[in-house]
Structure 1
Amino acid sequence: MKHVSYYLLIVYIIFFISCEKDKKESEKTIVKKEVKVVKPNFLPFKTITLNDLSGFKPTGANWKIVGNVIADRSKEKTFFTEEGTGILLNKNDQEKGSNKNLFTPFDHGDMELEIDVMMPVKSNSGLYFQGRYEVQLFDSWNVKKPKYVDMGGIYQRWNNEAPKGKEGYEGYSPRVNAAKAPGLWQHLKVIFHAAKFDKTGKKTKNAWFEEVWLNGVLIHENVELSGPTRGGGTNADEKPKGPLMIQGDHGPVAFKNIKYKLYEGNTFTLSNITRTEYENVKNLPINLDTISKEKEEKVDGFTLVDVTKSRDKKMVVHSGILSVPETGKYLFEGHANGISELYLNNKKFLNIRGGMDKANIKTTTLEKGDIPFKVVYNQHAPWARGFSLHVEGPNMQRYSIQEGTKKGEGVFDPLKGIIVEPKDKPVMQRSFVNHEGEKHTHCISVGTPQGIHYSYNLATGSLLRVWNGSFLNTTHMWLARGFKQLGEPIGFSVTMHGDLEFASLEEDNSPWPIPLIENKGVKQLGYELDASRMPSFSYQIEKTTISNSFTIPEGTRQLNKSITISKGKNLWHKLADGESIKELPDNTYVINNESYYIDFTGNDLKPIIRNIDGKDELLVEVPKGDSTINYSIIW
């Protein structure tokens, strides 16, 4: 009997050890990140293919198609290039007077343009809409108070007959400096509207820039121009249309990913509209014939503003005729805090529900002509208020079908609301933080008087975002019930990878692990403040203690990161990931998906660049024992 008991005990111990081993192995299981597919809320752009210069009018020898460009950050106006395709380069290397501007073969009136641009040190160029109205391109890195001459500025007009020193007027400065460091790709988005003329050729409306965005930051809104900017001709030169021009005689510049849409002012016409109010119901869909009508009348337009501004429970139906101006593909996007449905051609086309943050999107091809439409909106509770419906189509800029609404109404503006600004010492603010579409709950944002700020995930020990300018908008935390609990960066921000920063890899090509459920395996040790009140954050992972501290050098836009690793095993540190990572000759790395630099000079360790699942990763192996890593993030 003793032998049997002893045998059973051994079996139990082996089984227990095996289970514990399986448990530990399962805790180390590497799970790939889920790739979230986001449905686009816009129709496709037209693109200018950069295989050669055939997408432009014939021009000078200063223009060339290349495969890659790298700016020499130690010299002004200097690019290194590689052969290939995909990048439009102005070398600006011809004799004086021989560097030519570049024009599109098509003319445009109203236009939406998106383009990536790279400026070398101290270079200068410009985008001239219709060849007349300039958005400035300039190396404006570290400029504290941008002017019209800086990156994204709308250049001034010029009057040769004015007194000396007063010739320039009507230049418009960007509201913030969102320009990146020289040699980094920058994204520009512009919505431009041409001047309008009557049948006699008399101007009836000035040209205007509806929006100018630089690197995801709105820097101009509704800027009206009384005439062409300097270099764009005189008032007599204004016309309904003209080509897009890229300035070629001021300095080297590179472009890629050029895409655009042309608009002719098309809109739907709604007519014969009947508005019917019904007894409120709890949900949709419902047979309207089964509930009683409370009111019915003919109306001139479609709007629910009066309903959504009240706290009344109401169900309102608008029906009528929708006139389609042009055959083609149309995209509808609806949002509703209540419950809504859109019918086209007597068929339910789009369910609109899920809150004002949820986009309900659907595309369809419509023939030119008249079709019946119906919009059902059910405001089933006093707090369930809100509705929007936008459409985009051929030669039709996205707009709201609903009357009585303004563009951007209800859209969060980070420059307005409850703002936290550091004054003479750093400020720390706990909040939720959005990172690549995911809300992280255990985060802290650190703002500094120097205007360089960052957000840090305390749960995983990961840097999430860096930015410069103003610090934090806390409106979504402190206004009313603080429903979203989000701290929103105000300035121009750059997103870091946000993954675990340290991990062990079984093989060189093992996928980078994601945090386990409830961040198991990462133990937070809190943070300490130095004499200047800058924090250092510590945590343990795989029996290794890691501390992160950050400093900001004066007079430059960068964040210095210092990491100490104590009593550790062999680990890998992930510095960055992106669509493309390249090492530069000065031991600096350029990260192309967010387009920022990592300067790794001064370390004994050497990072590697590897490609996993189509994405480049910048990793460095940290040996067992005590180590220190120092590097800078520059943008």
Structure 2
Amino acid sequence: MTKKILFYIALLLIFSCAKDEKKPIKDAASIEQKEETTLPFTHIELNDMSAFKPTAKNWQIVGNPVADRVKKGTFTSTKGTGILLNTPNENTKDNLFTNFEHGDIELELDVMMPLESNSGIYFQGRYEIQLFDSWGVTKPKYNDIGGIYQRWNKDAEKGKEGFEGHAPKVNAAKAPGLWQHLKVIFHAPKFDAEGHKTKNAWFEEVRLNGMLLHENAEVTGPTRAAAFGDEKPLAPLMIQGDHGAVAFKNIKYKRYNDTHIKINEAVLKIYDNTVKQIPITHLDSLKLLEEHKTDAISPLENMGRNDQKVLVYSGTLNIPTTGTYIFDATVNGSTVLIIGNDTIIGMNADFDMNTTKYEKVNLKEGNAHFQLLYNKPFPWRNGFDLFVEGPSMQRYSFLKDGTSILNKNNPINPIVLDVKDTPLTQRSFIGHKGVKRTHCISVGLVEGMNYTLDLATGSLLHVWSGDFFDATQMWHSRGEHQRGKPMGFVVSSHGDLDYAPLNDEDDTWPKVSDGSFSFKSSGYTFDVQNIPTFSYKLDEAEITDRFVAASQVKRGLERTISSNSSITLWHKIADGTNIKPLPDHTFIINDESYYIVIPEHNAIKTVVRSSNGKDELLVKIPKGNQTFKYRIIW
């Protein structure tokens, strides 16, 4: 809570007291990291099986699992906690049910599929999100990972028993044996007082590894192999145990009721702001254009694309439940929200859509007075969104119509770069772990493998596959955001300097040059296939760096680094919470969950070490002329 105020104080004073709250755009990411942006999830603690109904021994709690990359459906694991593992056999293959029941639910977890394995998560034990080793599938179907499995009519004509399956929009599957992040927002079917179904179940959102697979996908009844044939408002979650091996960790959820903060009574005052007053310090100096009652916060109904106005809503809210709420606002212009005697959102300055303000507040059940100001002083700048999340209340827009899209009637057509018969390169700003990098180049290869380098540090930032590059924020209109964006699901690397002259393998890896050595880009050249080679100088040492699509794997890049140096150099390949050596010169990076494969090389020494709370994978490059390769597989 920012401050207590007396509600009878003039509104203009409330607004002026917040005018210094704007933070520079470059600090927006760090601000969000420090703020609480969501209410906490309930975590399933995987110390034992107490969160689940009694089941067979195919389910167990273990330590680190490792999937065999050659043998189908096979795990090895260590004793420990934190991982839920299913290893079925012909005699032991029970499904697993949670002790809790759910209706509407938001579920997040990490899942690992071994080679060619098959499982599924059944919401309410009835509606399945498929889990499958779908790595490299070009045209995913309902039975690939993230698909909504089809329903089944055993009495239908042979070959036509299945119906209503939903294929994922894209295949976002990682390689078998890698952790993958799944997020699902599910809504249970709705029933009237007599128990008659009034609305089908639906999946509001399904995401795998950050990629949207489904949006508002309806299911008219239980899918195939469901535990129950009927439909209920509440039922347990079920994980399929009779098909194949699978591992889970970091399981968390939020259960929701269908509740919202209601607006009982409100008055809207609309002021002319062609004088471009921002921050609002003298509201009474602006001309009042109109005043009327309203039952919704509807900026788009009262604000045209080129208008310059101030909207001020005041009235009464009905708070459904006593507890903690989080409001978040994003605005092109300024906004202030007051509930009771408290300023919830104080953004009375010239903000843009790069900055989101979050505020946590405790509210009591019942009626509360509110005031909301939205100031749009410039005709060419549009955008205002205000969201709220509360106890058992899913985050939703407090506005009847948000304006974050420049014009709802004329949405932006994305500006994308597509790779066809020759590789593409594009210079841009790129976001990496909350930081805007300004000296980046992204490369799209014809095989569908893509990557981004930071030329200032020589560091690999991102790898991804599929579609290449979204330049909308760079080239649309004035390009306010000035950032390019990878179009596929992204695996991010460490982002530190890729090369350094360490005294020994115990030296701390430098994030930037500390002045003891210099590092700079020498540019890049293209071969006849338009594939770039990047050149750098570290003091007098010369380094070149080249990427091509890895052969004989479904998704991967092969990186070739050459050096000519009078001193020993070191190359940092990766860091993570845990780096585990596997057979065949392979390492699994568990922080981002990808593989590094380093062929055996007589002159090159590979080191896995712990430093500053992380594991690091380094390569020692002897002086002289050296060339080595490794593969990044995800």
TM-score under structure 2 normalisation?
Answer: 0.90
Distance 1:418 1:314 in 2: 31
1:59 alignment partner, one of 50, 55, 59: 55
Distance 2:491 2:613 in 1: 21
> SS in structure 2 opposite 1:477?
helix
Alignment correspondent of 2:594: 596
- Residue 231 of structure 1, CA deviation: 1.1
Between 278-287 and 238-247, the greater mean CA deviation after superposition: 278-287
Alignment correspondent of 2:369: 372
Distance 1:192 1:360 in 2: 27
Q: Do the aligned residues in 2 keep the contact of 1:450 with 1:554 (CA within 8 Å)?
A: no
Bigger CA radius of gyration: 1
- Residue 227 of structure 1, CA deviation: 1.0
Distance 2:501 2:413 in 1: 44
Q: Do the aligned residues in 2 keep the contact of 1:460 with 1:519 (CA within 8 Å)?
A: no
- Residue 130 of structure 1, CA deviation: 0.3
Q: Note the residue ranges of structure 2 that are not aligned, 5 or more in a row.
A: 1-29
Alignment correspondent of 1:565: 563
Alignment correspondent of 1:249: 242
Does the C-alpha gap of structure 1 residues 406 and 267 become closer, same or farther in structure 2, counting only changes over 3 Å? farther
Does the C-alpha gap of structure 1 residues 257 and 584 become closer, same or farther in structure 2, counting only changes over 3 Å? same
Between 486-495 and 50-59, the greater mean CA deviation after superposition: 486-495
Alignment correspondent of 2:299: 304
Distance 2:575 2:257 in 1: 41
Does the C-alpha gap of structure 1 residues 359 and 64 become closer, same or farther in structure 2, counting only changes over 3 Å? same
> SS in structure 1 opposite 2:473?
helix
> SS in structure 2 opposite 1:85?
coil
1:360 corresponds to 2:354: no
What do you get for the CA RMSD once the two structures are aligned? 2.3
Distance 1:415 1:139 in 2: 36
> SS in structure 2 opposite 1:237?
coil
Distance 1:312 1:523 in 2: 48
Q: Do the aligned residues in 2 keep the contact of 1:127 with 1:245 (CA within 8 Å)?
A: yes
Residue type of the partner of 2:310? Answer: M
Deviation per CA, 1:409-435, whole angstroms, max 9, x where unpaired?
989xx9961221111221222222211
Number of equivalences: 597
Alignment correspondent of 1:522: 519
2:46 alignment partner, one of 46, 50, 62: 50
Alignment correspondent of 1:13: none
- Residue 179 of structure 1, CA deviation: 0.5
Distance 1:86 1:579 in 2: 15
> SS in structure 2 opposite 1:515?
coil
Residue type of the partner of 1:496? Answer: S
Distance 2:271 2:377 in 1: 12
Alignment correspondent of 1:77: 73
Kindly report which structure 2 residues correspond to 1:78-227, keeping only aligned pairs within 5 A, or say none: 78-93=74-89, 95-96=90-91, 98-227=92-221
Does the C-alpha gap of structure 1 residues 85 and 407 become closer, same or farther in structure 2, counting only changes over 3 Å? farther
2:423 alignment partner, one of 402, 426, 451: 426
Does the C-alpha gap of structure 1 residues 81 and 173 become closer, same or farther in structure 2, counting only changes over 3 Å? same
Distance 2:291 2:32 in 1: 44
Deviation per CA, 1:125-172, whole angstroms, max 9, x where unpaired?
000000000000000111111111111111011111111111111111
Deviation per CA, 1:440-476, whole angstroms, max 9, x where unpaired?
2222211122111111222222211110111111212
Q: Note the residue ranges of structure 1 that are not aligned, 5 or more in a row.
A: 1-33
- Residue 486 of structure 1, CA deviation: 2.2
Residue type of the partner of 1:453? Answer: N
Distance 2:301 2:235 in 1: 42
- Residue 534 of structure 1, CA deviation: 1.3
Residue type of the partner of 2:317? Answer: L
Q: Do the aligned residues in 1 keep the contact of 2:265 with 2:317 (CA within 8 Å)?
A: no
Does the C-alpha gap of structure 1 residues 298 and 519 become closer, same or farther in structure 2, counting only changes over 3 Å? farther
Alignment correspondent of 2:260: 267
Q: Do the aligned residues in 2 keep the contact of 1:415 with 1:473 (CA within 8 Å)?
A: no
Distance 2:516 2:143 in 1: 48
> SS in structure 1 opposite 2:147?
coil
TM-score under structure 1 normalisation?
Answer: 0.90
Distance 2:570 2:488 in 1: 32
1:394 corresponds to 2:391: yes
Between 427-436 and 67-76, the greater mean CA deviation after superposition: 427-436
Q: Do the aligned residues in 1 keep the contact of 2:221 with 2:231 (CA within 8 Å)?
A: yes
Alignment correspondent of 1:29: none
Does the C-alpha gap of structure 1 residues 289 and 520 become closer, same or farther in structure 2, counting only changes over 3 Å? farther
Kindly report which structure 2 residues correspond to 1:184-583, keeping only aligned pairs within 5 A, or say none: 184-232=178-226, 237-280=230-273, 282-284=277-279, 286=281, 288=283, 293-352=288-347, 354-405=351-402, 417-516=414-513, 521-552=518-549, 553-554=551-552, 556-583=554-581
> SS in structure 2 opposite 1:476?
helix
| Identical counterparts, % of pairs | 50
Deviation per CA, 1:202-245, whole angstroms, max 9, x where unpaired?
111110000000001111111011111111267x6011111100
- Residue 60 of structure 1, CA deviation: 0.7
Q: Do the aligned residues in 2 keep the contact of 1:473 with 1:489 (CA within 8 Å)?
A: yes
Does the C-alpha gap of structure 1 residues 259 and 491 become closer, same or farther in structure 2, counting only changes over 3 Å? same
Does the C-alpha gap of structure 1 residues 522 and 394 become closer, same or farther in structure 2, counting only changes over 3 Å? same
Distance 1:517 1:429 in 2: 30
Residue type of the partner of 1:321? Answer: T
Residue type of the partner of 2:323? Answer: G
